[in-house]
DNA sequence: ATGGGTGCAAACGATTTGCAACACG
DNA sequence: CGTGTTGCAAATCGTTTGCACCCAT
């Protein structure tokens, strides 16, 4: 599984790595795409198109939002990126290659907790057995109340 | 759990029941709201605002989409309705009171399979234990490939 | 009668698309 | 060079909101 974009590696390395990833995926390694890829590896976890746009825009001022979306689409098609709709208006994008995990979303404070995929395997197995349905969800979101908010129950803790 | 809106009952009964539900929730029983409620009970399962709009609009031509949305919001706040974002652009609404269940969404043909909540309990328990996180998700969507599409794998079966 | 509810129209935010200019390979 | 990409601007789509009028209570 090795960290695809060398999460810890130096920026230049990430750059070269990005170029290779794009080429391997049969995509042209344009500066825009490389940057989006780097942005994804920099903001590991989950990012909205808007956040990516800002990150990338900071180092390539001319870039257009539409390009970011088109790149994310291409990367998703190439299997390099996954999209997750956490139900909060904006889709979250994430690099594939990081350990599979799902999310617990706190409805009070918006906190995100990651749950390793392993916890879901039994359920997925059962679903496969009982319904013949093969889950491909790389990201699942479960809404609820996080430990923190559970304590100060009535507290206002909005996002 | 008794069928709140008497799923099998006659329309008039559903009507009276709807009025009572609204009043009990401290809401005015306007014809619009009653109809939205009836629409929800008629199209048991999950409906988009647009679908509801059409159903209601057929019997109360003047009604406005904004009203449907506002009603759904009020009903949700009152705990009578749940909203689920299946990640397909439009949110799905459903009456609370029907048996809890989650959804398997086929990415190929868009088919929806319902999974009883029971299947998720072990997972939810584990999450509560390990993360102290209390899931409140009434609806979870798991994407994947349904049995049908799994067979004619390459088939075009788009939505 | 009176305040919550409605219709209408315009605003919104995320995402998509048509098209001409452009640059990677 | 030629095709895949980009930037720009306008279009979409689901949903929300401001406001004046109206009806359920």
pLDDT of residue B21: 92
How far from the centroid of its chain's Cα atoms is residue B52's Cα?
11
> Among all residues of chain A, which has the CA nearest to that of B130?
A115
Please report, rounded to whole angstroms, the spatial distance between the CA atom of protein residue A6 and the C1' atom of nucleotide C18.
38
CA distance A117 to A55: 29
Q: Which of A87, A113, A153 to mutate to test the interface with B (most CBs of B within 10 A)?
A: A87
In this prediction, the residues of chain B whose per-residue pLDDT falls under 50 are 1-2, 4-8, 154-159
pLDDT of residue B104: 82
pLDDT of residue A159: 35
Q: Which DSSP letter does residue B100 get?
A: P
Question: In this complex, is the C-beta atom of A109 within 8 Å of any C-beta atom belonging to chain B?
Answer: no
Are A51 and A106 a contacting pair, CB within 8 Å? no
Please report, rounded to whole angstroms, the spatial distance between the CA atom of protein residue B141 and the C1' atom of nucleotide C5.
34
> Among all residues of chain A, which has the CA nearest to that of B132?
A147
User: In Å, how far is B143's CA from the nearest CA of chain A?
Assistant: 5
Tell me the pLDDT of chain A (159 aa) as tens digits. Answer: 445 444 444 556 678 889 999 999 899 999 999 999 999 998 877 889 999 999 999 999 999 999 999 999 999 999 889 888 766 677 889 888 766 778 787 766 667 788 888 888 888 899 999 999 888 766 677 777 888 877 665 444 333
Nearest Cα to A123, choosing from B151, B121, B149?
A: B121
Backbone angles phi, psi at A113, to 5 degrees: -115, 135
A140 touches strand C (CB under 7 A): no
Nearest Cα to B36, choosing from B20, B54, B9, B13?
A: B54
Tokens of B44: 């048991």
User: In Å, how far is B36's CA from the nearest CA of chain A?
Assistant: 23
CA distance A57 to B37: 47
pLDDT of residue B157: 37
Are B14 and B38 a contacting pair, CB within 8 Å? yes
Please report, rounded to whole angstroms, the spatial distance between the CA atom of protein residue B69 and the C1' atom of nucleotide C4.
16
A91 touches strand C (CB under 7 A): yes
């Amino acid at each position: 599984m090795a960290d695809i974009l060398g999460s810890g590696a130096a920026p230049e390395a990430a750059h070269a790595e990005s170029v290779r990833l794009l080429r391997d995926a049969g995509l042209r390694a344009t500066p825009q795409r490389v940057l989006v890829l780097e942005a994804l590896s920099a903001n590991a976890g989950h990012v909205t198109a808007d956040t990516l746009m800002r990150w990338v825009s900071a180092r390539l001022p001319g870039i257009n939002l539409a390009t970011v979306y088109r790149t994310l689409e291409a990367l998703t098609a190439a299997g390099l990126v996954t999209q997750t709709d956490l139900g909060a208006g904006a889709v979250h994008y994430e690099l594939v290659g990081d350990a599979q995990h799902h999310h617990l979303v706190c409805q009070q404070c918006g906190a995100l907790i990651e749950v390793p995929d392993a916890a879901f395997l039994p359920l997925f197995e059962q679903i496969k057995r009982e319904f013949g349905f093969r889950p491909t969800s790389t990201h699942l979101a479960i809404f609820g109340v996080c430990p923190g908010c559970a304590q100060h129950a009535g507290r206002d803790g909005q996002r």
